[in-house]
Chain A
């Protein structure tokens, strides 16, 4: 059975990637799980310089999900390269670095520094963080901004480029198309849904930033729909994410069109989730007589519509 997947020029040993913002810099988990056993590790978003992020409280739990507004606290790209990357290299992790910027120049400069470093497999462009004032979703909510960021970074690096798309737009497929036309090697989606939780007794927001991004099983059906829509619109690979909590969820994203998946919130609940995800995917492949992961990707059957309505 072949679990490897191709993401443009990048080959991953399996389709499971730890999602950015949910796995620290990867080194936090290096003594707990074998990082080299993952398809990839998408490390926390990095700007050119250090950022303190928002004050606590930064998360609040919601029905089958959670809201976060961390504010992209981070050590900056140079400290990442000198302090974290050597250990990730030593652990033979496939490192995908999530790149942030408040300007096009910053995206390009962070990417250039990563291109010169040893041990970076790909760049995920964060044009979708809902929790910062400048940069992030500001770029990802406009087709022009999406195209500009991808184009600016494309000029300075030959690393695989994976813009991470926001779901907080009307037509996510058009953003996938804009990214593809600007030279992206793949797209990843979805980032979190902009959302809000209020403590009705105190009438105060439950997180310090007032608004935050919703993740977890609650968002999965919307995320699957968006991956499906993007699959119709682009030919580059899609990395799907949004509420994956078990192997069936991962397979669902692949059937909708994802070549690989990222897992974030579920890693908080179970840091040892990866082996059961991989076992479950292999079990699915055995039961369906599939040899390669690619045999699952984009195999949605729509020939005869399913008329059975669950829960009706």
Chain B
């Protein structure tokens, strides 16, 4: 008897590209038909994706699920991915054509924990780190939580989906490194100010995803303001299943000792105050 599925998830689907929407010369959103994954995924979880069947590039790449796509009745039909072209695999995903099939394994990993109202949810995104926050914003809003998105990028043209978040009722705080939109500089500066201005009794949970430096800075700001902070880390991942031990993060255990944990199984969402940042 050959190997058989013994669990409902993760599943590996050959997902048809429904649409490929370029956002800039580097960024695109890929809509994939994957009802089984869409029905099971929670905000913050990821899929392992491979655009070609060839051995080069060989490995899959991890992607946070950006949006859950639904039909008119609200039934989940697929997922979208926010992709930034940086190498061979992401280049193939940038160039993917509707009708093309893409191997998609998931959902994988631990999702964000939704905070309960009256606590607020503040999402902190840097660049392509916006990826998990469309789905999280929808889930938090449905849960009755007021959501703010702190969103930083290099320039105005790389701040995407602003209308999507506005229509959801998400409060936006923007920053660009060149000052072309929002505050000039890094997004952590306005985040720090907003936390300083916030009443100490007013509960807020931070959710962060972006470059390592931004995550470390956000985690430190959260510690200073005594706010919980869930970070979605990105590591080079071989398998996404716990098999290869590539994607490790040094985490403080209950005994105070730092140990390497696999971000594919323990994460990608991890408590920011337990991570030893580089």
Q: Would you list 10 pairs from A and B whose C-beta atoms are within 8 A, ordered by A residue?
A: A24-B241, A33-B5, A55-B248, A68-B246, A73-B260, A216-B58, A268-B244, A270-B103, A271-B105, A275-B2
**Residue A52 CB within 8 A of the other chain:** yes
Is B243 a contact partner of A28 (Cβ separation < 8 A)? Answer: yes
Distance A59 CA – B240 CA, assembled complex (angstroms): 13
Contacts of B60 in A (CB 8 A): 268-269
**Residue A44 CB within 8 A of the other chain:** yes
Is A34 a contact partner of B6 (Cβ separation < 8 A)? Answer: yes
Chain B residues near A (Cβ < 8 Å): 1-7, 10, 12, 50, 55-60, 103, 105, 235-236, 238-239, 241-250, 259-260, 265
Is B249 a contact partner of A56 (Cβ separation < 8 A)? Answer: yes
Identify the closest chain B residue to A63 (Cβ): B56
Residue from B2, B7, B238 within 8 A of A278 (CB atoms): B2
Chain A residues near B (Cβ < 8 Å): 21-24, 28-34, 37-38, 44, 52-53, 55-61, 63-66, 68, 70, 73, 216-218, 245, 265, 267-272, 274-275, 278-279
**Secondary structure dominating the interface of B:** loop
Residue from B236, B242, B265 within 8 A of A57 (CB atoms): B236
Contacts of A31 in B (CB 8 A): 6-7
Distance A225 CA – B59 CA, assembled complex (angstroms): 25
Distance A132 CA – B172 CA, assembled complex (angstroms): 49
Most central of A63, A265, A268 by chain B CB within 10 Å = A268
Is A37 a contact partner of B4 (Cβ separation < 8 A)? Answer: yes
**Secondary structure dominating the interface of A:** loop
Contacts of B4 in A (CB 8 A): 33-34, 37, 275
Is A73 a contact partner of B248 (Cβ separation < 8 A)? Answer: yes
Is A53 a contact partner of B243 (Cβ separation < 8 A)? Answer: no
Identify the closest chain A residue to B247 (Cβ): A56
Tell whether A68 pairs with B55 under 8 Å between CB atoms, given A57-B236, A60-B236, A275-B2: no
Distance A24 CA – B244 CA, assembled complex (angstroms): 6
Contacts of A55 in B (CB 8 A): 248, 250
Is B244 a contact partner of A29 (Cβ separation < 8 A)? Answer: no
- Told that A70-B245, A216-B58 touch, could you supply 4 new A-B pairs with CB distance under 8 A? A32-B10, A64-B56, A270-B103, A272-B3
Residue from A22, A24, A216, A272 within 8 A of B12 (CB atoms): A272
Is A53 a contact partner of B245 (Cβ separation < 8 A)? Answer: yes
Contacts of B2 in A (CB 8 A): 37, 274-275, 278-279
Contacts of A73 in B (CB 8 A): 245, 248, 260
